[in-house]
Structure 1
Amino acid sequence: MPTHDHLRTAMNDMARATEPLAPEAVLNAGRRVRRHRRMVGAAVTAAAVVLVTAGIAVLAPRNEDDLPPSGTGDAVQTLQNSLSGLADGDYTFTRTGAGWVADIRRATVHLPDSVLIEHSDTFRVLRTGSGFYMRYLIFGSPEQHEQYRTYFQQHVTGAQGEAAMTAFDQLNGSNWVRADEKKLTAAAADESLSHLDTMATLPTTGQPDATGAGTLIAAVTTAQRAGDVITGTLDATRQDPALGPLLSDPAYLYGVGAKAMPFRATLDDQGRLTEFVVTMPEQRMASQPADPVEPEPPLIIRISDYGRTAVEPAPVQVAGELSADIYETLANDND
């Protein structure tokens, strides 16, 4: 695969030599803001800001040792106890309302044997046994993928051209390919823009909660219980310190709503968490006009199949293994 410098030059040449991308493609690419950069600016709408910030509040597994205590009373203790099922590392979950930043269509966790995270039809990661696999559409959309593939096919020859075609065929959104989990995680955390930035941190036996519910429960400040339902508020400014840089400036983004975001938790008959819903605040950024802002959908985490989640097998068909050079390209596939 060409080096990133070579790729950047080719991408610039292609931009000058081809028709502009469709407005929808440009807008979708532009919305993929790097998670740990500040998400402020007069050009950003309040609705987009709420969506982004709500999503990134739950991107990392909970670190039990680092989280500060929160809330008091039996209801808060019951909430904390409800996470015990996640600690066993055998469950299935979904996460919606977080938008493109952190939505997870389906995830199955059966530690230590396997973890499958499905972000979309064209973006999945799988750790099973000693193998790690990904299914990924490089450059984000079929149209952009095909434009770049055609350009490389026409303008990059020899060994570099062959390597590029292999990578495009491997990362077409439908093929599974073997990958290096450490290199892929590093590419997702790179400073550059990438569609890979949305990749969830996979759980381990040491940090088995991949849902983000534990991080949110650690921020609970008030709670009341009625049967199997617990309601109250959480303080978005009291997140896991490891997530602090990702939240940017929640007091500015949410106003007073950042410190009292309503939630509803539902427990099963064994006291385990089955659903956690966070209602988006109505407050807006200080720089936004007084015009009405359309409410964002709630952030919803649903958990099921405690102790019954099956081990995910390795893919039957695998389109080879990613070359070492492709990880740099993956770190920059939205530049």
Structure 2
Amino acid sequence: MRTPNDVRIAMQDLARTAEPLSAAGVLQAAQRQRARRRWAGAAGTVTAVLAVTSGIAAVNLDRMPVNSIAAVSEEHDAHRQLERSVDGLREGNYAFTRSGARGLADVTRGEVHGDSYVVEYVGRQSTMRIDATTYLLPSGGLNARRTSYLARSRREGVSDAELRKLEGVFTELDGSRWLRVDAVRLTSAAASEQQSSLDQLAAAPSTDRPDITGVDALVNAVVTAEQSGHTITGTLDATRVDERLRLLEADFAYFGPQVRSLAYRATLDDAGRLSTLRVDQPDSPELAPAAPLAITISRYGQAQVPPAPIDAAELSSLGYDLLAGDED
């Protein structure tokens, strides 16, 4: 906090210059004066303010052993290095894989190149966007219900013409071809109350949010950090990660305080960019241990998005309806 004395000295300093005084100039000069006063070790107690994810922690260095001061500095450096390691994602050109997310299907291949991307899932649909057109490759999971669905429709008196249309939709969704889709309508279908494989899909990248891996949000939730070579380890607070990302179990009422201190392990490449991030999910008193959240990132600046599918048909209205409840 700037003291009246800081402001007074700042005004005196500015008065010696030929420039007219301004409120902004006085405040900036006062801030510099305060900084000089804070870090002048011979003048009194030195206070270091470290920006950590749990808040702004003030540490009285004069009362700390030398080895403790070094540890605080090293943790701050490790934390800053981890924050810088995700800067490359903001360029929107990278490849990734992901497994163990709380509410998302595992990603076996993800490539992002600006507004274009492709994401392939384990046992789920694949999605792609090329030149502002979105495509979907269905998983084909609906085929298991094809016979029973058509038989029930016949019993309910559905006409032969409608049955043929249903047959065509099941063929459309058998997973053998890419389909052009309306991204807004696909999102709306996923938001329905019915259980759907669409619920498991990752959000598409955008100019404002180029990171669809989730690592940026995870790094922002880091509480402690310690670096050894290319590896950074520590803990993060899952309650500080947006639950809409569906990455971690963060129910404090169920899992207790452990969700505020989940262990993580990050590795950096030779350029200091994040290459892997593994976060332990909280232990449940009733369930077997969950697999950790594991994200790998590679091919910074070299992502390869495939060309748009040739002659992709438009997903029918009935196709959206069937996908919206394909797991109910």
Tell me the TM-score normalized by structure 2.
Answer: 0.70
Kindly tell me: are residues 187 and 86 of structure 1, through their superposed partners in 2, closer, same or farther at Cα, counting changes over 3 Å? same
2:307 alignment counterpart: 313
Structure with the largest fraction of strand = 2
1:249: how far off? 6.0
1:73 alignment counterpart: 76
Q: Is the Cα–Cα contact under 8 Å of residues 98 and 294 in structure 2 kept in the other structure?
A: yes
Structure with the largest fraction of helix = 2
Larger relative contact order, structure 1 or 2 (CA cutoff 8 Å, min sep 6): 1
1:219 alignment counterpart: 221
Unaligned runs of at least 5 residues, structure 1: 1-67
Kindly tell me: are residues 206 and 261 of structure 1, through their superposed partners in 2, closer, same or farther at Cα, counting changes over 3 Å? same
State which of 161, 182, 207 in structure 2 corresponds to 1:205. 207
Partners of 1:73 and 1:102 in 2: how far apart? 34
State which of 193, 196, 210 in structure 2 corresponds to 1:194. 196
Asked whether 1:238 is paired with 2:240, we answer yes
2:278 alignment partner AA: V
1:151: how far off? 4.7
Q: Is the Cα–Cα contact under 8 Å of residues 137 and 145 in structure 1 kept in the other structure?
A: no
Asked whether 1:302 is paired with 2:267, we answer no
Partners of 1:192 and 1:230 in 2: how far apart? 41
1:331 alignment counterpart: 324
1:295: how far off? 2.5
Kindly tell me: are residues 230 and 215 of structure 1, through their superposed partners in 2, closer, same or farther at Cα, counting changes over 3 Å? same
1:190: how far off? 2.0
Q: Is the Cα–Cα contact under 8 Å of residues 124 and 197 in structure 2 kept in the other structure?
A: no
1:124: how far off? 0.6
1:317: how far off? 5.0
1:330: how far off? 2.2
Partners of 1:251 and 1:111 in 2: how far apart? 37
Unaligned runs of at least 5 residues, structure 2: 1-50, 55-74
Kindly tell me: are residues 317 and 88 of structure 1, through their superposed partners in 2, closer, same or farther at Cα, counting changes over 3 Å? same
Give the alignment's Cα RMSD to 1 decimal.
Answer: 2.7
3-state SS of paired residue (2:295)? strand
1:93 alignment counterpart: 96
1:261: how far off? 0.4
1:146: how far off? 4.3
Q: Is the Cα–Cα contact under 8 Å of residues 127 and 135 in structure 2 kept in the other structure?
A: yes
Overall identity of the aligned pairs, in %: 39
3-state SS of paired residue (1:101)? coil
Partners of 1:301 and 1:178 in 2: how far apart? 29
Partners of 2:318 and 2:137 in 1: how far apart? 17
Q: Is the Cα–Cα contact under 8 Å of residues 152 and 164 in structure 1 kept in the other structure?
A: no
Q: What's the CA shift string for 1:281-302, capped at 9, x where partnerless?
A: 33x25xx4xxxx5322221100
Q: Which has the larger radius of gyration?
A: 2
2:188 alignment partner AA: A
Tell me the TM-score normalized by structure 1.
Answer: 0.69
